Structure 1
């Protein structure tokens, strides 16, 4: 089935796919060849022909993808529809995006890198949910797949959001170990198994921004509220027993916006593609801040 593409304007905004080859018996001498029975020769000829693989049935699927070109500022954003045969495509949404870009429309722009849910590059909104395209399976039976950039972010092009503000906020929490003294053995700061386990569920964050861009509080106060992803990383360093700057880190959050714009909506924990719980980390951070206040 040929892949196709259409445009719709938006209001603002053998059996296993491997050929089987017959086994053929070769005689070791001319005399032996002459002695080969006709029926065996006929069977041998038939088995020597490669069997054509069974062709998979066509599975057409439409993908509606947000498009916007900064080189054409007068043109409003629109949804462009692409049709793919899922029988000829990988199982993940990122597989579909790559196939569209490689075979149908090279102008389609999106971020991607590891394809393993590690780098966070391919974060986008798929069917209304912020997630990673490399981890999101294509629903073959459902409606058209709708793909948008992460919500409430400035768009560079198509489904590529501008992450400048997000990384600026991440930088503001100084996400690195701050120790007053050198390690006793001159090599590294040691940590007990129990203290190390306190960091589980936080250090795994890949900074994809799925949680922050799913948070209504972050939509409303993006300039001052740090958002779930950054706040979870802030607590990751507050909770680290090797760090000596706990008081300094907490003091930096002593204002009405950086932390306390969180209203426990829990969108962040629901949408995290890594299964982390930013809301829980924020709650612990609020407790630390309350207990440290005079």
Structure 2
């Protein structure tokens, strides 16, 4: 199995370049994940840099672009990939080294949508109740693990990363706008009501295709637009 991996060390390299690695099929099992292969490749070259933590598709740290599609390497079976695998860092954000990108702007955009519940003052002696029907509306909006696969797949984010919040942040905004307990949903919508925010999305579905958790950020953004038209 051949791996063509983008390498870049800003201390010594002017631009990224590709390095080819090889693994014998006897070194990997039928249930191996791409991250398992990367661990073996790093034994060949300890300077190879990538992120990984939980290795279970929960932390979202090991996002990378694999054969043109953003994926989490820890839950990408090698059996689903061809014998020639091209791996690059996720696009749209600065490269720190090799497959590691600088996520600072991504987190700034996420923070910018106030991703926390803003409710009436709570009585700490009682539960903050929500009906099962209202709770069910949040399914598909709260499970995001902030891996960045969707946002770095989005051309609108590539073109205006400092202005367009991106699919992950807008998915979070949707989660709180539709939460029956939140009392600031109108203000949330007003903050997104600009040509460079929610309406910059063109719904080309890259974000939905890239999400490793099977979420649909594009649909959430479409729903936000519909709510905004009705309420603002």
- TM-score, structure 2 normalization: 0.95
1:232 and 1:65 map into 2 onto residues whose CA distance is 31
Aligned residue number for residue 8 of structure 2: 68
* Conserved? CA contact 1:89–1:99, under 8 Å: no
Show the counterpart of 2:92: 152
Shift of 1:130: 0.5
Deviation at 1:272, TM superposition (A): 1.1
Unaligned runs of 5+ in 2: none
* Pick aligned residue for 1:123 from 44, 50, 63: 63
Q: For residues 61 and 83 of structure 2, what CA distance do their matches in structure 1 show?
A: 26
State the alpha-carbon separation in 2 of the partners of residues 140 and 266 from structure 1.
22
Q: Which gives a bigger RCO, structure 1 or 2 (Cα 8 Å, sep 6+)? A: 2
Q: Does 1:267 align with 2:206?
A: yes
Per the alignment, residue 287 of structure 1 pairs with: 226
Count the aligned residue pairs: 230
1:132: which partner in 2? 72
Whole-angstrom CA distance in 2 between matches of 1:219 and 1:234: 20
RMSD of the alignment, in Å? 1.5
User: Shift of residue 87 of structure 1?
Assistant: 2.2
What is aligned with 1:82? 21
Q: Which residue of 2 aligns with 1:97?
A: 38
Q: How many Å separate the matches in 2 of 1:250 and 1:206?
A: 23
For residues 52-82 of structure 1, give each alpha carbon's deviation from its aligned partner in whole angstroms, at most 9, with x where no partner exists.
Answer: xxxxxxxxx11111100011143x3111111
Give 1 or 2: higher helix fraction. 2
Within 1, Cα distance between the matches of 2:171 and 2:128? 22
User: Equivalent residues in 2 for 1:191-230 (5 A)?
Assistant: 191-230=130-169
Q: CA–CA distance in 1 between the matches of 2:11 and 2:160?
A: 29
Bigger Rg, structure 1 or 2: 1
Q: 1 CA distance for matches of 2:135 and 2:118?
A: 16
Q: Deviations over 1:205-239 (max 9, x none)?
A: 11111111111111111111111111011000111
Q: TM-score, normalised by structure 1?
A: 0.75
Alpha-carbon shift at residue 141 of structure 1 (Å)? 7.5
Task: Decide whether aligned partners of structure 1 residues 200 and 126 sit closer, same or farther in structure 2, where only a CA change above 3 A counts.
Answer: same
Consecutive unaligned residues of structure 1, counting only runs of 5 or more, are 1-60
| CA–CA separation in structure 2 for the residues paired with 1:158 and 1:187 | 50
**Are the structure 2 counterparts of residues 140 and 236 from structure 1 closer, same or farther at C-alpha, using a change threshold of 3 Å?**
closer
- SS of 1:286's equivalent in the other structure is helix
In structure 1, the residue matched to 2:104 is 164
Shift in Å, 1:242: 1.2
